[in-house]
Structures are given as structure tokens and as C-alpha cells.
Chains A and B, each alone.
Chain A
Amino acid sequence: MRPAAAGSNLVAMAQIFHYSSNTFARMTIYGAVFFIAFAGWAGYAYINSHYVTRQNQPREQPIPFSHAHHVGGEGFDCRYCHTSVENSSFAGLPATQICMNCHSQIWRTSPELEPVRASYQTGQSIRWTRVHDLPDYVYFNHSIHVAKGVGCETCHGRIDKMPLTWQNADLQMEWCLNCHRNPERYVRPREAITTMGYVPDGDQAEIGRRLVQEYHIQDARLLTSCSTCHR
């Protein structure tokens, strides 16, 4: 018969759990705190990793085009090839004809340039692999950035030192906002837009503030409004 009184199990019964389960239970509860913290940290580290953002990873291209050689070595201006950067949202990829301006004269028989010659003859564009691929819900316009004094280097890095092109920034939204919240830290005079390795002539804080005023850069409230970039 069962004892009537509350909680008193006078009937001898075997232990269900081993004594060590006490320690195990405490460890599990205590450990869960660290486990959850670790999982949170790991998730955050993952979404910011270069594996996800594809930052600093040279991209395979149909022709191993070297910005280091053309910009760093030969000293081309960015706009020689990226012709529409000042007037269009898209900086523009050079037509094969632009390549052939030089390559009809030099490196005429180089096997690596065969796709360029083929493209020139057939009229089929070279299919480059996109390096900076923003999500479709982001409205990005190159011309406004160039017009307001954001240098090529500010986003694309030292392109003159890239044998194969890679993405210099992580392109996360916080990276965009970093500048949209404090444009004075990054803007430079329009004359120095394409300069690589630009060093401000004096105090950037002071120059930046002056340029923000001079170029009529909107205040952070407008620049960080959702619809500025997501339209």
C-alpha cells in the first residue's frame, strides 16, 4: 500500500540516477551559458568571415587581367577603361575595342590574349566575372559617389597593386553606413578621385568638413535614410 503522506516515499526504491548525474546536470546548465555565447559568437564570426563576404579573394577571370600592371605599372587613369563612372550608376566595363587600342600593336600573339582577339573578331563581349556584386535590393550609383569626392581607392582599395582583382571591402551594410554616417572622414578633392595611395594634404578632419560643405554632401540623417539605398 502507498503511504498517504505527502512526499514521503517510505517504500524503499532503487536510485533512478547515478550520483554523478548531479554534477552532470550542473555542468550542463552552467555549460549551456557558455555554449550559447559561443554559438552566438561563432555565428557572428561566420557572417563576417571572408568566406561569406568573399573579401580579399582574387576572382578567376577569362583573361588574367592585371590591374597591377595596367594601373600600377603603365599608369592608366581608371576612366580610360571605366568610361561611364562619372555619369552612370555603372562604372562600365571596357569594350574590346578599348583593349585593342593597344593590343592590336603589342602582345599581338600572346596566347593569353586570345579571348580578346576572338571577341574583337566575332563581336561577342568578353564575359568577365563580377567581383563586386551588391545584392539586388541595393541601389548603388557610381556617378554620385565620384561627384561627391569619394575616391576609387576608398572602396576598391589599392587596385594598382592587384595582379588579379579582388574585393577590397566586405561590402556589409555596416561598411556602407560607416561612410554615410561620417562622410567627412573619407571624402577627398575631386582632382584626386583616381589617385592611388592618396594622402590628404593636411588634416583630414578639417579638409573633410570643408569638402562636405563645398560638395553639398547631405547630412547623415538623409544619407542613412532607408530609401537612400533601398528604393
Chain B
Amino acid sequence: MPEEQVVDTPESQRVIAPGYTFGSVTDQISTVVLTKHTPLFWFATFAAGFVLLQGLLLSALLLFWKGVGVWGIRMPVMWGWAITNFVWWIGIGHAGTLISAILLLLNQSWRNSINRFAEAMTLFAVMCAGMFPLLHMGRPWLFYWMFPYPNPMNVEPNFRSPLVWDVFAVSTYFTVSLLFWFVGLIPDLGTLRDRAQHLITKYIYGMLSMGWRGSIRHWSVYETCSLLLAGVATPLVLSVHTVVSFDFTIAIVPGWHSTFFPPYFVAGAIYSGFAMVLALAIPLRSFYHMEGLITDRHLENSAKLMLATGLIVAYAYIMETFMAWYSGSVYEQQAFWNRMTGPYSAQYWFLITCNVVAPNLLWIRKFRTTPVLLFISSIIVLIGMWLERFMIIVSSLAQDYTQSAWGLFHATRWDFATFFGTIGFFVVMFFLFVRALPMISIFEVRTLLPQAKVREEVRS
């Protein structure tokens, strides 16, 4: 009984508030979807996202019409914001996979309350990420040339190029994430189907739930499938951003060409991913009054993970600079000296403030348990991580070997429109998700209830 549990666990350590029953968990989560009433804040946020999305459509249209030159990409900085945004978005996705796969395998049951929307976040973030290489291609309508398919040109992608590995890494990541997310949704879709009042709603959830009846056989298949997918997704948490980092490390540009980029990038990805999880969870739970399901314990755990990965990132910055000095290569040294004192020094020191200095406040318990402060720190981390990618890409390309070929990057208004447009896309997709699907896994949260603890009967 819940009353017994209160005694041995202090208030903030709870993964679910006391007083919940199986029925009230289901009620609270499913009514958000099945109610006819759409709250005002939903409309307000959706509208804001929708306006930004129009900026994305407009800039994409202009880009198709006039070419990639509408962005500020000029020699020598041909990657500019497009690849910065790609790396930023794909990194954000990683926390979702970490929560859904690695924490599942590690039996961290607190993840049950946040895995659903974190996985949705992963999917939408990967969609946003995928747009940038496509738009950056110059001739986006020939995107299928990236895949090795039988064609009358008798050409295939250059498998020695990490950009091709990227295609496979990202498309695998998206497919596995989508499958994992959908399989996890099936039992809840069954619940929604059973609770829906309207015939069309019943039909839609009925089709999506693929005949789920909740039989023992169904659950057994579900558990196997879910574990297998978690097993497939786990290496992806490490491999996808590793491959993304190869885009840089394989090149010989000073500031890119180093062997520790993979762990550095993966840590950064999870860092920014948890920042995004917090930036979504904190407003969501207060708007929908879900504090009982997404508790302070979840926020604190995510904050701790953010702090841990943030420290790895800080260590990577130190090592990166140390290795530049230790390498003895004048070009490497020059590249880092330029970062700190050159034309991008303001961005560099701002990045250090956001990513290295600011997260140390999370050592203080108050910062981890006060939602407003935590929300602000997660936004700071998101900005810092964007700047990190900007720094790596733009400052390295702007000033490499030959001084006569140096040049600075100037973002155009269309760079802004595209980037903020993908944020709009993300918000629109996420809010549609919140309205149409259960944002918290109903059946997994029910397993967190004290009532769900099964006592094995001992036969005498």
C-alpha cells in the first residue's frame, strides 16, 4: 500500500506521487488525449511554432529557387550554420535513446515516466537534423544518390567518405527510434482505443494498436521485442554521434583532426539531449499538472546526468586545448589560439561560460530541485552546445592553413529563418504528439505503483 512506502522514502526521492491508483494514472494521461477541450497554452505554443515553421518553408522554397547561396555559406566556410544545426539537433536526439534503451537495460525504472516524450523528442530532433544535410546538398531532389541503389549511371556513393557513413548512421537511427517508439506505444494505443468515445477515434487508435488485447501472449511478445529493440538501440547511442564526429576528424582541417572527437561528441550529445528533455518536461508537467508523474526526482536525475556529461565535455575542452599545444603542430596551435583570441573569441568565451561554468551550479541541490532554475540552466546548456558546434565548424574552416584563404562567416536572415524554422517544426510536431498520443507511457508508469509489486508465492 502507498502509505507504507511513504515511511522509507523521503518526499523528493519519489518517482510517483502517493495516492495514485492504476485507474487514476490511466485517467490522467489518457484524458489529455481524449478530451475535446484543447487548452489555451497548447494553442499559444503551437501557434508560435507554426509561425516559425512558415519561416522554414519560406527559406526552403527560396533555397530551392535560388540555391544554397541564400545562406551565408561562402568560401572558405561552406558548412556554416547548416551543419552546425545538423549536429546540434542530432545530438539532442541522443538523450531520448539513452533514456529509452540504456536505462531500460540498466533497469532504471524511473525512466518509465519520461521515456515516451523523450523518444518523441528524439524522432522530431532527428527529422530536424535530417533536413539540414538535405537542404545543404545544392540539388536536394537528387538526395537518393546518397544510397547505393542499382542505377543506370553505374555509380555508387564513395564508401571511404564519412559523409556516406553519416547517411547510414542517421537513417538507421531514425528507423530504430521510430520502431522502438511505436512498439512502446502499442499497449497504450489499445487503452486509448478502449476509452475513446468517438467512432473515428476508436478506428484510428484501433488500427494503430494492431489488435492489441493485452493477453499474456501479447505481453510476452511485447517484452521480448522491446528488449531486443533496446539492445539494437543501445549501440546507436554511441555510434551515431561517433560517425557524426568522423565528418570532422577524418578531414585534416586544424581543430577537426583529432582522435578523441567520438567520446567528446557523444558526451556533448547526451548533455544537450538531457537539457532538451528538461526544457520540455518542466513546462509540460506544470501545464498539464503532471507533477505527480514527472516528479522532482526525475528532474534531479536528469540534472545529475546533465552535470556528469557536462563535466566530460568540459574535460574534452581542456584536453582539446592541451593536445593542440602538446601536438607541436603550429596549425593546431594557431587554430586554438584563433578561437580564444580571434574573430570568434566572443562566441568562444560565451560557449565556455554556458557549457563549462554554468552547469557547475548544478552541484548545488537547490538548482537541481527548483524547476525554474533548472529550466534556465537547460536553456543555457542548449545555447552553449549550439555554440560549441558553431565554434568547431565555423572557426576551424574560417582560418585554416593558408592565411590568404581565410574568411569569416556571416549568417544571412535565411540562416536564421531556417534554424528557427526547425525549432518551429519541432514545437509543432511535439505539440501534435502531445495532443494525439499519450505523452507518458501509461502502462509503464503503472508498474511504478506500489500495487504493481508482485509477491512470488512460495509453495510449501
For A25, the chain B residues whose CB sits under 8 A away are 210-211
For B49, the chain A residues whose CB sits under 8 A away are none
In the complex the two chains form, what is the Cα distance from A17 to B22 in whole Å?
Answer: 27
- Which stretch, B57-65, B146-154, B247-255, B329-337, touches the partner chain A? B146-154
The count of residues in chain B whose C-beta lies closer than 8 Å to any C-beta of chain A is: 26
User: A2-B23, A4-B23 given as contacts; is B152 within 8 A of A47 (CB)?
Assistant: yes
In the complex the two chains form, what is the Cα distance from A3 to B26 in whole Å?
Answer: 11
For B203, the chain A residues whose CB sits under 8 A away are 16
Task: Decide if B355 is an interface residue (CB 8 Å cutoff).
Answer: no
In the complex the two chains form, what is the Cα distance from A44 to B154 in whole Å?
Answer: 13
User: Which residues of B, 167-221, contact A by the 8 Å Cβ criterion?
Assistant: 187, 190-191, 193-195, 199, 202-203, 206, 210-211, 214
In the complex the two chains form, what is the Cα distance from A183 to B378 in whole Å?
Answer: 62
For A3, the chain B residues whose CB sits under 8 A away are 23
B206 touches A17 (CB 8 A): yes
In the complex the two chains form, what is the Cα distance from A231 to B154 in whole Å?
Answer: 19
Q: Is the interface of B mostly helix, strand, loop or mixed?
A: helix
Q: Looking across the interface, which residue of chain A has its beta carbon closest to that of B203?
A: A16
In the complex the two chains form, what is the Cα distance from A2 to B26 in whole Å?
Answer: 11
In the complex the two chains form, what is the Cα distance from A47 to B149 in whole Å?
Answer: 13
User: A16-B193, A16-B203, A17-B206 given as contacts; is B154 within 8 A of A7 (CB)?
Assistant: no
Q: Looking across the interface, which residue of chain B has its beta carbon closest to that of A173?
A: B153
B152 touches A172 (CB 8 A): yes
Task: Decide if A121 is an interface residue (CB 8 Å cutoff).
Answer: no
Taking the closest CB of chain B, its distance from the CB of A54, in whole angstroms, is 14
The count of residues in chain A whose C-beta lies closer than 8 Å to any C-beta of chain B is: 22
User: Which residues of B, 58-82, contact A by the 8 Å Cβ criterion?
Assistant: none
Q: Looking across the interface, which residue of chain B has its beta carbon closest to that of A13?
A: B194
Most-contacted residue by chain B among A13, A16, A172 (CB, 10 A):
A16
In the complex the two chains form, what is the Cα distance from A6 to B155 in whole Å?
Answer: 55
Contact with B along A1-27 (1 / 0, CB 8 A): 011111111000100110000100100
Selected from A5, A44, A174, the residue in CB contact (under 8 A) with B22 is A5
B202 touches A16 (CB 8 A): yes
For A16, the chain B residues whose CB sits under 8 A away are 193, 199, 202-203, 206
User: A4-B23, A5-B22 given as contacts; is B153 within 8 A of A172 (CB)?
Assistant: yes
Task: Decide if A153 is an interface residue (CB 8 Å cutoff).
Answer: no
User: A6-B446, A7-B187, A7-B190 given as contacts; is B153 within 8 A of A174 (CB)?
Assistant: yes
B446 touches A170 (CB 8 A): no
For A44, the chain B residues whose CB sits under 8 A away are 150
For A2, the chain B residues whose CB sits under 8 A away are 23, 27, 195
Selected from A13, A17, A173, the residue in CB contact (under 8 A) with B155 is A173
For B155, the chain A residues whose CB sits under 8 A away are 173, 177
Task: Decide if A89 is an interface residue (CB 8 Å cutoff).
Answer: no
User: A4-B23, A6-B26, A16-B206 given as contacts; is B152 within 8 A of A173 (CB)?
Assistant: yes
User: A7-B190, A16-B203 given as contacts; is B154 within 8 A of A173 (CB)?
Assistant: yes
For A213, the chain B residues whose CB sits under 8 A away are none
Contact with A along B26-37 (1 / 0, CB 8 A): 110000000000
For B26, the chain A residues whose CB sits under 8 A away are 6
For B202, the chain A residues whose CB sits under 8 A away are 16
Task: Decide if A57 is an interface residue (CB 8 Å cutoff).
Answer: no
In the complex the two chains form, what is the Cα distance from A2 to B393 in whole Å?
Answer: 57
In the complex the two chains form, what is the Cα distance from A9 to B194 in whole Å?
Answer: 7
In the complex the two chains form, what is the Cα distance from A8 to B26 in whole Å?
Answer: 12
The 28 sampled A-B contact pairs (Cβ below 8 Å) are A2-B23, A4-B21, A6-B22, A6-B26, A6-B214, A6-B443, A6-B446, A7-B187, A7-B214, A7-B443, A13-B194, A16-B199, A16-B206, A17-B206, A22-B211, A25-B210, A25-B211, A44-B150, A47-B151, A47-B152, A48-B152, A172-B152, A172-B154, A173-B153, A173-B154, A174-B151, A174-B154, A178-B154
Q: Which residue numbers of B lie inside 8 Å of A, CB to CB?
A: 21-23, 26-27, 150-155, 187, 190-191, 193-195, 199, 202-203, 206, 210-211, 214, 443, 446
Given contacts A4-B22, A173-B153, 9 further A-B contacts (CB under 8 A): A4-B21, A5-B23, A6-B22, A8-B214, A16-B193, A16-B206, A17-B206, A173-B155, A177-B154
